[in-house]
Structure 1
Amino acid sequence: MAKKKQITVHNKSDRPNNIVLTEHQIIEDCLNIEGQLPPFMRDFFIYLKNAVALSTRHAYLNDIHFFCKYLINETNLTTAKEISQITVDDFNNISAREINRFIGDYCTRYIIKEEDQIKVVENHNRSLARKKSSLSVLFKFLFRDERMKVNITDGFNPIRLPKPQPDAIKRLEIDEVAKLLDILQAGESFTEKEKVYWEKTKLRDRAIIILFVTYGLRLSELQQLNISSFNFNRGEFRIFRKRGKEVLMPINKSCEMVVKEYIEGERPKAEELDDENKDALFLSLQKKRMTARAIRNLTKKYTAFVLGSANGEGYSPHKLRATAATSLIQQGFSIYDVQNLLDHDNVTTTQLYAAHKKNIKREIVKNFEWIDEEDN
Structure 2
Amino acid sequence: MQTNGNDAKYYNEQDRINTLKMREVLSCLPSFCKQYFRGIEPTTSARTRLGYAYDLRVFFEYLHNVNPSLKNIEVKNFKLDVLEMIEREDIEEYLEYLSLYEKQEKETTKERTNTEQGKKRKMSALRSMFSYFYKAELISKNTPELVNMPKLHEHEIIRLEPNEVAILLDQVEAGEKLTKSQLKYHEKTKVRDVALLTLLLGTGIRVSECVGIDIEDIDYDTNGLNIHRKGGYNTIVYFPDEVRQALLDYYEERKTIIPVEGNENAFFLSLQNKRISVRAVEKLVKKYARNVTTLKKITPHKLRSTFGTNLYKESGDIYLVADVLGHKDVNTTRKHYAAQDDENRRRAARMVKLREDIDDNK
Do these two structures clear the TM 0.5 threshold for a shared fold by scoring above it? yes
Partner of 2:13: 21
Partner AA of 1:255 in structure 2: V
Partner of 1:294: 280
CA deviations on 1:304-331 (whole Å, 9 max, x unpaired) are 111046xxx8410010011111122233
Partner of 1:334: 317
2:347 is aligned with 1:360:
no
Quickly say closer, same or farther: Cα 1:67–1:208, change in 2 above 3 A: same
Partner of 2:256: 269
2:73 is aligned with 1:81:
yes
Please show how residues 11-50 of structure 1 align to structure 2 within 5 Å.
13=5, 15-50=7-42
Partner of 1:319: 302
Partner of 1:111: 102
- Other structure's SS at 1:153 match: helix
Partner AA of 1:317 in structure 2: P
Cα distance in 1 for residues equivalent to 2:220 and 2:6? 19
- The alignment yields a C-alpha RMSD, in angstroms, of 2.6
Quickly say closer, same or farther: Cα 1:66–1:308, change in 2 above 3 A: closer
- Other structure's SS at 1:72 match: helix
CA deviations on 1:317-365 (whole Å, 9 max, x unpaired) are 0100111111222334522222211112333443433635534345547
Cα distance in 2 for residues equivalent to 1:109 and 1:367? 49
Once the two structures are TM-superposed, the CA of residue 207 in structure 1 deviates from its matched residue by: 0.7
Quickly say closer, same or farther: Cα 1:154–1:287, change in 2 above 3 A: closer
Once the two structures are TM-superposed, the CA of residue 261 in structure 1 deviates from its matched residue by: 0.8
Q: Percent identity?
A: 29
Quickly say closer, same or farther: Cα 1:329–1:243, change in 2 above 3 A: closer
Partner of 1:72: 64
CA deviations on 1:241-274 (whole Å, 9 max, x unpaired) are 1121211122322112111111212x3636x223
CA deviations on 1:139-194 (whole Å, 9 max, x unpaired) are 122222222122323432542221x24xx111000111011111112223334433
Partner of 1:256: 244
- Other structure's SS at 1:296 match: helix
- Other structure's SS at 2:120 match: helix
Quickly say closer, same or farther: Cα 1:333–1:89, change in 2 above 3 A: closer
CA contact (8 A) 1:37 1:65 kept: yes
- Other structure's SS at 1:36 match: coil
Cα distance in 2 for residues equivalent to 1:149 and 1:362? 52
Once the two structures are TM-superposed, the CA of residue 85 in structure 1 deviates from its matched residue by: 0.9
Q: TM-score, normalised by structure 2?
A: 0.88
Partner of 2:210: 222
Partner AA of 1:108 in structure 2: S
CA contact (8 A) 1:54 1:243 kept: no
CA contact (8 A) 1:237 1:250 kept: yes
Cα distance in 1 for residues equivalent to 2:326 and 2:255? 32
Once the two structures are TM-superposed, the CA of residue 18 in structure 1 deviates from its matched residue by: 1.4
CA contact (8 A) 1:97 1:155 kept: no
Partner AA of 2:123 in structure 1: K
Cα distance in 2 for residues equivalent to 1:151 and 1:308? 47
2:293 is aligned with 1:307:
yes
Indicate the larger mover: 15-24 or 112-121: 112-121
Unaligned runs of 5+ in 2: 358-362
CA contact (8 A) 1:225 1:281 kept: yes
- Other structure's SS at 1:281 match: coil
- Other structure's SS at 1:88 match: coil
Quickly say closer, same or farther: Cα 1:137–1:317, change in 2 above 3 A: same
Cα distance in 2 for residues equivalent to 1:171 and 1:362? 20
Cα distance in 2 for residues equivalent to 1:344 and 1:50? 20
- Other structure's SS at 1:56 match: helix
Quickly say closer, same or farther: Cα 1:77–1:228, change in 2 above 3 A: farther
Indicate the larger mover: 153-162 or 211-220: 153-162
Quickly say closer, same or farther: Cα 1:246–1:60, change in 2 above 3 A: same
Once the two structures are TM-superposed, the CA of residue 81 in structure 1 deviates from its matched residue by: 3.3
Please show how residues 120-199 of structure 1 align to structure 2 within 5 Å.
120-162=111-153, 164-165=154-155, 168-199=156-187
- Other structure's SS at 1:280 match: coil
Partner AA of 2:256 in structure 1: K
Cα distance in 2 for residues equivalent to 1:229 and 1:358? 38
Cα distance in 1 for residues equivalent to 2:232 and 2:290? 33
